[in-house]
Amino acid sequence: MDGSIPFWMYIIGFPLLLGPLVTLHELGHYLVGRWFGVHAEAFAVGFGKEIAGFTDKRGTRWKLCALPLGGYVQFKGDMNPASVPDKEAIANASAEEREGSFHHASLWKRSLIVFAGPAMNIIVTLAIFTSFFMIFGKPVSPDPAMETTITAFAEDSAAEEAGLEIGDRIVRVDGKEVASFFDLREAIIMYPGRTLDIEVIRDGDVRNFDVVPRTIKAEDRFGNVSTIGQIGIPPAVTERQFEGVGPGEAVNLSFVQTGKLVDMMVTGIKQIVVGERSVKELGGPVTIGKFAGEQLSLGALAFFNLAALISLNLAFINLLPIPALDGGHLAFYAAEAIRRKPLGPRSTEVAYRAGVALVLALMIFVTFIDIAKLPFFGN
């Protein structure tokens, strides 16, 4: 950890980041459930032993738990906080027990209640980006074409080696149009070592070149190292300005920005799965806490930007079709809709047990990676 950052920022950064995001996620489940008349027996921030709490007039226990690594809403009829259904109890429930029970709600209501958690995290991301665009506007260049025109090459440039020349204007990378240097950077940074088809305009003619970005280990001011791709083209010197936007355009830009982040996340996971990236690039609670402290030290804007990214990650992870996660529940509901009846109790139990085991294994794995990254373990 960077010695120039007060240690207390690491201590408060983690709960200050994850606490509100997890609470809002669970609040999404709770509010939609309440809207549909489903009773929430418990609303917890964290897991494990309760350290503080109260029971409201509706009978919901609101509590803060000892292990601040998540949270849950336990609805009436749930066997446990993972919302695992008790098939026998559901089938034998009395009319009174069915009233306000999550598992006796209609299929579409259960689906919306489950989806509401990730949806809330997506809304948080969109709200943060919309606020940024409303406050600062959007970056514009007086001459966008100049931004993607090659004016120089860096030393050992992959682009120059592939045959690109000064004056070429890059218009597409692997079929994706690039309208600014930021677009060009985003089209290349995630693909170190992969052959990219770069289309340029030279003397009015369209030409295509196969370029293999160099694999670069980029290090930020805090010593965090990331693997990125570069083709050795420095940005042209243009004076970028920020142009004010209205609410409608700000919302639209926030969707565009969020879409780009989702694309990068999916690409990164694919590359780890196929071996193009190291699993060491994964991060767990320790990494999140470290980043939270670092970004907090840079100010509110950097911290909220990280919050938008983590909130989107929470939505993405929770929507994976793994039993015990929201996406797993939605997968079961999709199967129920197709079959016109729920899956059998045995298959449901086996799937949930496997899902919980997988989630726990992944948590242990990323935590192990986190610990191995700590300075006193070396590299």
Catalytic residues: 26
Residues 6 or more apart whose Cβ sits within 8 Å of residue 345: 87, 88
How many CB atoms neighbour CB 10 within 10 A? 20
User: Smallest Cα–Cα separation from 234: which of 142, 145, 153, 149?
Assistant: 153
Number of helices (H), then strands (E), belonging to the chain: the values are 12, 10
The answer to whether residues 234 and 130 touch, using CB atoms and an 8 Å cutoff, is no
Looking at residue 85, the DSSP 8-state letter turns out to be: B
Helical ranges in 36-106 per DSSP H: 87-91, 95-98
Looking at residue 64, the DSSP 8-state letter turns out to be: E
How many CB atoms neighbour CB 283 within 10 A? 18
Burial 81-110 (b: 16+ CB within 10 A, else e): bbbbbebeebeebeeeeeebbbbbbeeebb
